[in-house]
Structure 1
Amino acid sequence: MRPQLNAITLAVKDLVNLKHFYANVLNWEIMDENPDIVMFRLEHIILTLYKEKEHAKYLGALAGEHISPKFYFTLNTVSPQQTDTLFAELKAKGVTIVKEARQLFWGGYGGIITDLENNFWEICYNPMS
């Protein structure tokens, strides 16, 4: 797997206030948004603010009140097929898969894995990048 980082997603309590902070205080341009998510393109990375409850649902099986992480990292692939190939390789190596790769509500295709200390990594194809 190529060493890269394409996005960081933060679970936030108050999306409206944080959107205001990043857009109006730091003057970062909004790339995309909907009622649950605001995305900012920072030079070579995307910062996503995600409502806490929706963030926990998105992460899947291990996400719950007390164990859902406040953030996760994203690695983008070039296609859904590459995503599936990576998941098969990682599964064969014994990596914990929290959420199998699948079509995602926002148009991408991906899933979630963890490292040995349960840090969450999304591996996905993003048709918008």
Structure 2
Amino acid sequence: MIPQRVTLVTLGALDLAALRAFYTRLGWEDTPTSSDDYCVFTTAGVLLSLFPYRELVKDANLEDSVPVPAADAKPSFRGITLAVNVEEPEEVDAAIEKARQAGAVILKEPEEAFWGGRSAYFADPEYNVWEVCWNPSAIFDETGAMISF
């Protein structure tokens, strides 16, 4: 059996130093295990790591023919979003403003969601897509990790 949990999310970074600097500008602190070659941020419930894209391809034993995106390539959606759920609706607006100041591309300004919450989207410099969301049904544990909604 595979345990039903997510413990680590790794983003393949084309420019690790620049991507690390972006998340630092968001106010996120990296861990002592971080280095110039690998970076880890502690979040509530899941670790977020940054690892060089080419090295991640090798580590996952993917085909050498997997295309490496060019640093200046037009961003495209990769079919995955990451989310930061907040505890109050006004926190969505504040978080999006912080992301804007850190250099994010705002994809969708904060707005009331059809399902009763508040939501917005931004992309980091390498176009990893993040949703900032307030869900009135969300339940958080004592660490701030969302455990249900």
Alignment TM-score, normalising by the size of structure 1: 0.47
Alignment TM-score, normalising by the size of structure 2: 0.41
Considering fraction of residues, name the structure with more strand. 1
